[in-house]
């Protein structure tokens, strides 16, 4: 009744104004026709395509009415080939590993560290540890700049020989003990679905990975605010994606409200498919100019909901920071917090 009352007041006010300013001259009539023409020309087809419904629904978390249809962020991209080059092209790579007799692919990114004898990459926990049978992955390799050189799986020979810079193998893997202790990929597991791989010298050059591919800083200080400008990257390999093209999404950050615990994981409009798991999510990302492709990593792709056009990622926190510290000195696989 309160909303209806307000609408009636507004309608009455408009009627009064119309009576007051009703046209009484030819000049006024021309002004009305001119204004009508302006409004008609304003509504281009492109603007109509951007129009969304404006309805309200009750937010059960805040107990307030929120707009159901929100305008689309002007720069929204839900899965396109990255053509911007820059640091992200080298620091984001593809991961190959075996687990339980099967072969898998994921994505990962090189993280900046102060250790000169090793390199550290960030990926998803499920890309290094099989939580159901409690197994670390084997034969784990990272391939930077995967799509800068066409790769072929035809014929014989070693795959790494056909890549741009070669492969870097893991000397140790670091996962959360909370993630590893879950009986499967549960709601709790999603909140701890991050991991690090420690890499020695490798590739064609025999150098440290970060010396060849570069690196990106890591953010673990706090949650990133809702509607923050976010860029996500990876190598999706299912559906329309073939796994050989660095792909990205760009939009405003949100949180997953379906897992039963609000604010527990991030959400981003993104249509990337399997293979993008472990790919980096950036804040403060630079997409043009001399510093293109540089940003700060604050999450990784973790999971989705079937046909949903969104991807979800864990909140990196003090546990993540502790795992990163453990990776700097690890000599074998580590379940952090055990």
Cα 191 to its chain centre, rounded Å, is: 15
For 178-200, what is each residue's pLDDT tens digit? 999 999 999 899 999 999 999 99
Position 227 confidence tier, pLDDT thresholds 50, 70, 90: confident
Q: List the Cα angle 144/293/255 in 5-degree steps.
A: 95
Contacts of 138 (CB under 8 A, 6+ apart): 97, 98, 99
Assess if residue 41 is contained within a domain.
no
The strand pair at 334-336 and 168-176 is best described as: parallel
Q: Are 60 and 52 in contact (CB under 8 A)?
A: no
Reply yes or no on whether the pLDDT at 249 is more than 70. Answer: yes
pLDDT at 21: 33
CA atoms within 13 Å, Cβ hemisphere of 110 = 30
Assess if residue 11 is contained within a domain.
no
Position 4 confidence tier, pLDDT thresholds 50, 70, 90: very low
Phi first, then psi: what are they for 170, rounded to 5°? -80, 135
Give the separation between CA 309 and CA 271, rounded to whole angstroms: 5
pLDDT at 37: 74
Reply yes or no on whether the pLDDT at 51 is more than 80. Answer: no
Assess if residue 9 is contained within a domain.
no
Among 287, 282, 286, 289, which Cα is nearest to 268's? Answer: 282
Q: 128: domain CATH number? A: 2.40.10.10
Assess if residue 39 is contained within a domain.
no
pLDDT at 292: 94
Give the pLDDT mean for 217-223: 94
Q: Identify which has the larger pLDDT, 72 or 161.
A: 161
CB atoms within 10 A of CB 40: 8
3-state secondary structure of 115: coil
Reply yes or no on whether the pLDDT at 5 is more than 50. Answer: no
Give the pLDDT mean for 306-326: 93
* Helix %, strand %, coil % of the chain (to 5): 25, 30, 45
> How many domains are there within the chain?
1
Position 258 confidence tier, pLDDT thresholds 50, 70, 90: confident
pLDDT at 18: 28
Sign of the C-alpha dihedral computed for residues 94, 125, 176 and 169 taken in this order: negative
Give the pLDDT mean for 266-292: 95
Reply yes or no on whether the pLDDT at 65 is more than 70. Answer: no
Give the separation between CA 193 and CA 195, rounded to whole angstroms: 7
Place of tokens 């990163």: 324
pLDDT at 316: 97
**Token pair belonging to 6:** 């307000």
Sheet with strand 310-314: strands edge to edge = 254-255, 265-269, 310-314
Place of tokens 């293109």: 292
Give the separation between CA 64 and CA 266, rounded to whole angstroms: 21
Assess if residue 201 is contained within a domain.
yes
Position 142 confidence tier, pLDDT thresholds 50, 70, 90: very high
Give the separation between CA 241 and CA 248, rounded to whole angstroms: 12
pLDDT at 159: 86
**Which range of residues forms the domain containing residue 305?**
78-336
For 13-36, what is each residue's pLDDT tens digit? 323 332 333 344 455 666 767 777
Assess if residue 194 is contained within a domain.
yes
Phi first, then psi: what are they for 98, rounded to 5°? -115, 150
Give the separation between CA 41 and CA 333, rounded to whole angstroms: 64
Model's pTM, two decimal places?
0.80
Give the separation between CA 170 and CA 162, rounded to whole angstroms: 20
3-state secondary structure of 126: helix
**Token pair belonging to 63:** 């107990």
Assess if residue 46 is contained within a domain.
no
Assess if residue 129 is contained within a domain.
yes
pLDDT at 92: 97
pLDDT at 13: 33
């Amino acid at each position: 009744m309160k909303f209806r009352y307000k609408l009636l007041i507004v309608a009455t006010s408009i009627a009064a104004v119309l009576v007051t300013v009703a046209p009484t001259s030819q000049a006024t009539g021309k002004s009305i026709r001119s204004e009508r023409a302006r409004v008609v020309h304003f509504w281009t087809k492109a603007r109509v395509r951007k129009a969304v419904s404006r309805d309200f629904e009750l937010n059960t978390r805040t107990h307030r009415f929120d707009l159901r249809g929100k305008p689309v962020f002007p720069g929204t991209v839900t899965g396109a080939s990255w053509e911007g080059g820059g640091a992200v092209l080298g620091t984001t790579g593809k991961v190959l590993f075996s687990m339980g007799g099967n072969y898998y692919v994921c994505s990962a990114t090189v993280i900046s560290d102060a250790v000169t004898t090793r390199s550290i990459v960030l990926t998803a926990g499920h890309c290094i540890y099989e939580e159901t049978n409690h197994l670390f992955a084997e034969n784990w390799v990272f391939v930077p700049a995967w799509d800068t050189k066409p790769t072929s799986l035809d014929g014989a020979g070693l795959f790494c020989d056909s890549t741009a810079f070669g492969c870097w193998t893991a000397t140790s893997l670091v996962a959360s003990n909370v993630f590893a202790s879950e009986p499967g990929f549960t709601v709790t597991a999603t909140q701890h679905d991050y991991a690090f791989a420690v890499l020695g010298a490798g590739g064609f050059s025999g150098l440290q990975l970060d010396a060849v591919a570069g690196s990106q800083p890591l953010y673990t200080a706090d949650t990133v605010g809702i509607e923050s400008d976010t860029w996500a990257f990876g190598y999706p390999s299912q559906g329309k994606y073939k796994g050989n093209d660095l792909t990205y999404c760009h939009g405003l950050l949100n949180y997953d409200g379906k897992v039963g615990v609000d604010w527990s994981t991030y959400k981003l409009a993104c249509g990337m498919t399997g293979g993008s798991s472990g790919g980096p999510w950036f804040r403060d990302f630079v997409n043009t100019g001399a510093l293109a492709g540089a940003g700060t990593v604050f999450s990784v792709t973790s999971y989705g909901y079937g046909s949903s056009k969104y991807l979800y990622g864990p909140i990196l926190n003090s546990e993540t920071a502790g795992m990163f510290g453990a990776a700097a000195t690890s000599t074998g696989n580590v379940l952090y917090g055990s």
